[in-house]
Structure formats: C-alpha cells, structure tokens
Chain A
Amino acid sequence: MTSLLRDRILPVLTVIAAILVIWHVFVIYLNAPFVRDQAARAGTTVTLSEIIPQTFNQERPILPAPHQIIAELWDTTVAKPVTSKRSLVYHAWITLSATLMGFGMGTVLGIALAVGIVHNRAMDKSLMPWVIASQTIPILAVAPMIIVVLNSIGISGLLPKALISTYLSFFPVVVGMVKGLRSPDTLLIDLMHTYNASNSQTFWKLRWPAAMPYLFTSLKVAIAISLVGAIVGELPTGAVAGLGARLLSGSYYGQTIQIWAALFMAAGLAAVLVSIVGAAHGLVLKRMGVKP
C-alpha cells in the first residue's frame, strides 16, 4: 500500500502540483493587463495585491483559473439536465457516438485491408502506398469537403463525422495488423505447412492470435484519434452540437471558460476510452496465457 503511494500516486501528484503552480502564475501574468486597463479607464490606480484576486474571477479571461473551469464543468454536467443543449454531457455524447461509430468502422476497414495486404501480393504492392499517402493529407482541409459532398447526396448527421474518424483511425489498425499478421516465426509457418493446413486454418490458428498484441496497441492509438476526428468533423461545418461545436461557439463569443471546459471534457473522454481499450488489451492477453 505504501509502495503504491510512493511509486504511483506521489509522482502524479507532484506533477499536478507543479502544473497548478505554473498555471496560476500564468493566470496572473496574462489576465493582469485587463485589470490594469479597466483601472486606467476608470481613472484609478490599482496595487498588485488588488490586481491578483481580480485576475482569478474574470468573466472572459485570457487564461481561466482552474477553479473557474471546474466550476463551469460542474455547472454544465451535474447542474444541468443531460437533455439540455447547455449540458456538456449532451455534447460529449454527440461526439462520443460519432467517435465510437468511426472507431468501429475504422477498425473493421483496417483489419480487412491488412488481411488483404498480407494475403495478396498485388494488394500489398498497390495499396500500402495509398494507405500511407492518405495520412499525409491534412484532415482539417478534407473534413469540410467530406461533409459538404455527403450533405449534397442527402447524408448528414452522425455518419459524415464518423467517416472522418474512420479516415483517421483505420491507419494505425492497418499498419499494426499488417505487422502483427506477419509476425509469426517462419518455423511456426513451416509447421502449419507440414500439417498441410489450409490458408484459413493458418490464419485463424496462427496469424490472428499472433496479431492480437499488435491489434490492441493500434486500437489505443485509433480510439484517441477517432475522438480527434469527430471533434475536427464538428469544427469547420457549423455543427450545432458536440464538443467541437462547443469549442467553436466558445471561440466566437470569447467564452474562454467554455472552451477550456470542453477541452477538459474531451481530454477526460479520451483518457476513459484509451483506458477501456487498455483494459480489454490486458484481459485478452491474460486469457491468451501471456507471461504476467
């Protein structure tokens, strides 16, 4: 118990404390000019000890203080009904559903492409360069076009955003699974050959299980960028709901506290999603008898 405290909790708390100290210093530094301007306009002078408390309680600060963000988070999650358009839970759910849909489609697409690439030489030669090239295109530039094009053929709502998530998340899955499906030792492949095993037997009994650790490592990356994809999909399109829409409207109206609250929500969501995939990873490997 004491070792858990010493090895895990203490280092994390130390870093958090350091971040909070630096944060507060910047809150004062960045928000003080506004307080001084106000005072100058009113024709009064303010001392430093008068400035500091005011930098922590502005309505539209350059950098909100942590307690303001926490208060905003509390107000928009716990204090509001989840059906309200002002509830952050409502917006997070919109983004989460696009994320999960895109992640699911990206995973299936990625695995399918990897299986094709591993089993077919022509696909290996022709497809892999395109897969890599697809990721060099800035998604921020492509996202509006995807949404506009799909909208013009009558597809709108969840699917276009999910497709942007798919576009980002299939890539780590393809790369990881190609490596994973090719990971079995030649000896193990030869062994299957001596048994006169069919291709599908070799796949299900050897390649697939051998690829599992690679798959889950890829999935951890894929779920995180699926979330990024869903948020990016909401940004340039004038979406009215979702974390991306909250970020956008926050920046339109100078609601920095709202922006930061949405950012914290997104970060928290990403952490939860990655740890769920991580837990599944551990569970699968344990069931596969991997040395602890």
Chain B
Amino acid sequence: MNSPASVVSARDLGLTFETGDGPVHALTGVNLDIKKGDFVSFIGPSGCGKTTFLRVIADLEKHTSGSIEINGMTPENARLARAYGYVFQAAALYPWRTIEKNIALPLEIMGYSADEQKKRIAAMLDLVNLAGFGKKYPWQLSGGMQQRASIARALAFDADLLLMDEPFGALDEIVRDHLNEQLLKLWDKTNKTICFVTHSIPEAVYLSTRIVVMSPRPGRVTDVIESTLPRDRPLEIRDTPEFLEIAHRVREGLKAGHSYEE
C-alpha cells in the first residue's frame, strides 16, 4: 500500500497519554508520507505533538492507534535496524568523551572496526566543519559547535533518516542562521531524508521541501505546504516575495488551527 520510496508513512496515527487528569490526546488522525530525500519541517506551538511524532518515528514513544511504517517496518524494527539518527534539542554529548570519541560512540556500539571508525570520524568532522577539534572536550566548544558535533554523531553511521528535534532552538539567531545554511549544504551532499522539528517560521520555510503545520489540543496536522523554493538556497532567499508568500501560508495555517489563541 506504500510506495517503496516512502521513508515514513503514517495512517490515522494517534497517541493518547493516560494521565491523572484523564487522557491527553498528543496526536490524533495524522496521515503523512515522507518521501526519500525530503526535508520535512514540523511547526506548531508547544503541545501540538510535533516532538511526540518524531519520538514515535524513533520508537521512543509507542503510538496507541492507527499505523506507522519506517522504511516499510514498524518503528521498533526500524530502530533495531538502526534506520535513523536522532539529534536532540541539547547537544547531549558525553562530557567525559572528546568530540571524536563522541562521534565514535554509535560506531562502537554498532561494532564498526577501529579503522572504519577512524575514517568515519575524520569524514564527519570535515562534514560539519569541526576538523581539528576532534581532541577537544565538549565544554571547550561553543554551543553551536557542540550541536554540530551532535549532528556529526547522528550522521556517522549509515542511517538514511535524520530526525532533528529543535536542534538549534537554544542557539542565538546569528549562529542559527549559519547552522541552517550548513545543514542545507549537508543535506544536499548526503541526500538524507530529514525530519526537522522547529517553532521558527523562517527556519521552517528556509530549510524545508515540505512544511507540516500542526496544532494543539488535540495534537493534529492542520496543513502540509509544499515549498516552491529552489533546492539551492542562499540566506538572501529569505527576502524574496516567494519566501514571504510561503511564510504567510504557514502563518495562515497556524492561525487556522487556533495556534495563536491563549
């Protein structure tokens, strides 16, 4: 029923948390197909279920209704097959490991040979522009550099899917712009499928090929916007009418889901 190129395919997906105050509908009726090579952003206010959806894909939460397939597998099997890399809001580097040892962590766990580890660490450090920082400890790096190291760690093994949960949310705007630009280049070079959670409209529009607009209470998808921007996007593209038009549609989508109320 799914086309083989579908990386993530959700049908009427729902997740309800049972709490002391009664059930909380974190996700209801989510239908979504993410194609290979897509850059999909999830945008919406807090409580709209965007992070929860990402965690369901990653098998960090279990859905309670509907179905979801990752590369044609259940989320659990996809996780066991190490189908994705996950980047958290915080860099979550291990403080007692150097940057290169942090990148090596998934490789050690997945049993890559020492030679292969070395090769991949060097390649990843180059990819995220951290060459020469491999021997540093995380506290010796700035927040932006730490987050880049964390992206390198998620890319080090052969997962085609990259899940990013507000990875630049804690960084200042200047650093964030720079990292957005680098992320696009990286996406272009590696041809990975990326799911990106954010609550910044410009960030979502700048990065994505598709933007999924979500709304809270209950958490649901209110709109899916296909971007008309070209694949090659300099930072200046954000001043073009086309960019502003898409940003306007995202804002309208959020408004339609009553996201601006309260």
Contacts and interface: CB of A to CB of B under 8 A. Distances in A.
A83 interface: no
Interface residues of B, number: 24
A120 interface: no
Contacts of A205: 94, 105, 108-109
A48 interface: no
A185 B92 contact: yes
Interface string B128-141: 00000000010100
Interface residues of A, number: 21
Given A190-B60, A194-B60, A289 B137 contact: yes
Given A190-B60, A288-B95, A291-B137, 15 more contacts: A185-B92, A187-B90, A190-B86, A191-B88, A191-B92, A193-B60, A194-B58, A194-B84, A195-B106, A196-B79, A196-B82, A201-B109, A205-B94, A206-B94, A212-B96
B98 interface: yes
Contacts of B139: 291
29 contacts: A185-B92, A187-B90, A187-B92, A188-B92, A188-B94, A190-B86, A191-B92, A192-B109, A193-B59, A193-B60, A193-B79, A194-B59, A194-B85, A195-B105, A195-B109, A195-B110, A197-B109, A201-B109, A205-B94, A205-B105, A205-B108, A205-B109, A206-B94, A209-B94, A209-B96, A288-B96, A289-B95, A291-B137, A291-B139
Interface in A26-47: none
Contacts of A197: 109
A204 to B, nearest CB: 10
Nearest to B157: A195
Interface in B6-38: none
Contacts of A288: 95-96
A122 interface: no
Specify the main secondary structure of chain B where it touches its partner. loop
A209 B101 CA distance: 14
Nearest to A190: B60
A290 interface: yes
Contacts, number: 54
A194 B98 CA distance: 21
Contacts of A201: 109
A155 B252 CA distance: 83
B82, B96, B106: which has the most chain A beta carbons within 10 Å?
A: B96
A181 to B, nearest CB: 15
Contact of B82 (A191, A192, A195): A195
A201 B109 CA distance: 7
B256 to A, nearest CB: 33
A168 B49 CA distance: 50
Contact of B80 (A191, A196, A209, A289): A196
Q: Which 6 A-B pairs have the closest CB atoms?
A: A288-B96, A289-B137, A187-B92, A194-B86, A291-B139, A197-B109
Contacts of B58: 194
A280 B140 CA distance: 24
A28 B98 CA distance: 62
Contacts of B90: 187
A191 B108 contact: no
Contacts of B82: 195-196
Contacts of A195: 82, 105-106, 109-110
Contact of B96 (A190, A193, A196, A290): A290
Nearest to B86: A194
Contacts of A192: 109
B229 to A, nearest CB: 30
A114 B139 CA distance: 29
B106 A289 contact: no
A239 B123 CA distance: 67
A193 B94 CA distance: 15
A291 B96 CA distance: 10
Interface string A275-292: 000000000000011110
A289 B98 contact: yes
Contact of A190 (B85, B88, B105, B108): B88
Interface in A195-222: 195-197, 201, 205-206, 209-210, 212
Contacts of A212: 96
Interface in B93-116: 94-98, 105-106, 108-110
Nearest to A209: B96
A196 B111 CA distance: 12
A188 B58 CA distance: 14
A205 B109 CA distance: 9
Nearest to A212: B96
Contacts of A289: 95-98, 137
A192 B94 CA distance: 11
